[in-house]
Amino acid sequence: LEAMALQIPALATAVGRIPQLVSDGINGFICEPADIEGLTRKAISLTNLDRSQIQAMGQAARNSVVAAHDIDNCAKRYAARFRMVLQGD
């Protein structure tokens, strides 16, 4: 999250909630856990991108983090959940 917030494309494995945030080839690269060859291929793919591609992926990474974790967006989601609880839904 920190790297993505700083406009750095992610290089990650598909564990936990990471696949919900990292879209392979869009805002970073993702592979299966323990797939050393896959992780190596993705790292090489990242290093083969030109500056404009890295910047575009980095901006997409930041947009993903902001959309998912921006304080205003989080507050709206929490408020909606509390309303549901209070209404008994």
Q: How many angstroms from the chain centroid is the CA of residue 36?
A: 20
* Backbone φ, ψ for residue 24 (5° rounding): -55, 125
Cα-Cα-Cα-Cα torsion 10, 16, 20, 25, nearest 10 degrees, comes to: 30
How large is the average pLDDT for residues 5-19?
A: 94
How large is the average pLDDT for residues 76-87?
A: 90
How large is the average pLDDT for residues 62-78?
A: 88
pTM: 0.76
Give the model's confidence band at 89: pLDDT under 50 very low, under 70 low, under 90 confident, else very high: low
DSSP line for 43-89: HHHHHTS-HHHHHHHHHHHHHHHHHHH-HHHHHHHHHHHHHHHHHT-
Looking at residue 70, its pLDDT comes to 84
Give percent of the chain with pLDDT exceeding 90: 73
Is 90 exceeded by the pLDDT of residue 23? yes
